[in-house]
Amino acid sequence: MPGILNMSRDGIGYIVVMAVGVCLVCSVFVSGAAVYLKPLQNVNKAADRQSNILEVAGLMEPGIDVRQRFDERIDTKIVEIETGEYVESIDPEDFEQQEAARDPEMSVKVPREEDIAGIKQRSRYAEVYLVKGNGDEIESIILPVHGYGLWSTMYGFIALEPDANTVQGLKFYQQGETPGLGAEVENPKWRDLWPGKLVYGPEGEPQIRVIKGSVSEGTPNSEYKVDGLSGATITSRGVSNMLEYWMGERGFQPFLKRIRQGSLTAAK
Ligand SMILES: Cc1cc2nc3c(=O)[nH]c(=O)nc-3n(C[C@H](O)[C@H](O)[C@H](O)COP(=O)(O)O)c2cc1C
């Protein structure tokens, strides 16, 4: 320290030492704040996730205690995507699908020819949410979906009725599309077009998609179709592609088949 006191304040050495000192002090503050606030950020992230899930299931009301409603009504399960079976060895509290997709041991590469959703790599496991009815009955099934739009990977949830086919809702909670164009995927008016649509055609293949233009009474197979977002055909196609992937054989179809056969209930 005496060294620095003896330095001339106009000298280059003094300026460099002071600049480095200020940077060090600031970086300690910033990293300290990041570490200190991490648990709070995680709590907020979990609360946000829970409110999105309640919303897509139609269980969100103003003023409710989100956590309490979530705990009362929703059963969280980890599913192995390939087999569609529940995995008891992973605690949902410790699981984060976006992180798992980056972990080589927890993820698989999506072959290019199958990668219609543009995700490249996906977690082998997914967190699914079952809205509990009376006893073992499931009132709705909520599945995470994601896929590339025009600028960004869009993350959302689709809620299905217990028939594992009829849509209850679709909600995106993270996307970077253009406000007023692709970002209209979050517009409640567009979201209102989804409930009642069917995912699977008569042969059991995913049929649901966003079309270019509007669905009218005369539109053939309108039960599988949703209006496109005007001026945002690429984002709209991204939504169709992600649903085709996630509702298909490589996505949640094995899990949904088990639900339909009644071999998986909320309790199992
Ligand atoms: C600045 C800018 C931002 C755009 N953002 C989006 C977007 O978020 N999603 C999208 O699908 N198209 C976006 N587009 C338009 C696409 O480039 C493309 O023209 C459009 O998807 C075609 O849709 P349309 O056939 O309905 O016009 C954007 C265009 C510009 C110039």
Q: What is the pLDDT of residues 194-231, one digit of tens each?
A: 999 999 999 999 999 999 999 998 999 999 999 999 99
Residue 232 CA: nearest ligand 1 atom is 11
pLDDT at position 134 is 75
What pLDDT band is residue 264 in, cutting at 50, 70 and 90? Answer: low
> Do 27 and 98 share a domain, yes or no?
no
Q: Is 177 inside any structural domain?
A: yes
Which atom belonging to ligand 1 lies closest to the Cα atom of 178?
8
Higher pLDDT residue, 9 or 65? 65
pLDDT in tens, 173-185: 999 999 999 999 9
162 and 221 fall within a common domain: yes
* 233-259: average pLDDT: 97
Give the closest residue (by CA) to ligand 1 atom 5: 178
What atom in ligand 1 is closest to the CA of residue 228? 26
257 and 140 within one domain = yes
Question: Which residue blocks in 7-118 are alpha helix, DSSP H?
Answer: 12-56, 66-73, 97-100
DSSP state of 264: -
- Alpha carbon distance 140, 256 (integer Å): 12
pLDDT of 9 reads 78
Are both 10 and 79 inside the same structural domain?
A: no
Other Cβ atoms closer than 10 A to 165: 17
Mean pLDDT of 232-257: 97
On whether residue 223 sits in a domain, the answer given is yes
Looking at the domain assignment, is residue 58 inside a domain? no
Sequence-separated (6 or more) residues with CB below 8 Å from residue 43: none
* pLDDT-above-70 percentage for the chain: 97
The pLDDT of residue 1 is 56
| pLDDT confidence of residue 180 | 97
Count the domains in the chain. 2
What pLDDT, on the 0 to 100 scale, is given for residue 7? 78
Interval between CA 233 and ligand 1 midpoint (Å):
7
Q: Are residues 169 and 89 in the same domain?
A: yes
152: Cβ below 6 Å to ligand 1? no
Residue 268: pLDDT over 50: no
DSSP string for 180-203: TTGGGGG-HHHHTT-TT-BSB-TT
| pLDDT tops 50 at residue 129 | yes
Regarding whether 76 and 205 lie in a shared domain, the answer is: yes
Do residues 44 and 70 share a domain?
Answer: no
Per-residue pLDDT at 166 exceeds 60:
yes
For residue 27, give its domain range. Answer: 2-48
Query: Is 266 within a domain?
Result: no
Query: Which residue from 148, 150, 184, 185 has its CB within 8 A of the most atoms of ligand 1, so it is best to mutate?
Result: 150
- Provide the whole-model pTM: 0.86
What residues have CB less than 8 Å from 153, skipping those under 6 apart? 118, 119, 146, 147, 175
- Whether residue 30 has pLDDT greater than 50: yes
Evaluate whether 73 touches 131 at the Cβ level (below 8 Å).
Answer: yes
Q: Are residues 94 and 126 in the same domain?
A: yes
Ligand 1 within 6 A of 154 CB?
Answer: no
Mean pLDDT of the chain: 92
**CA 153 – ligand 1 centroid, Å:** 15
Same-domain pairing of 178 and 126: yes
Does residue 53 lie in a domain region? no
pLDDT above 90 coverage of the chain, percent: 82
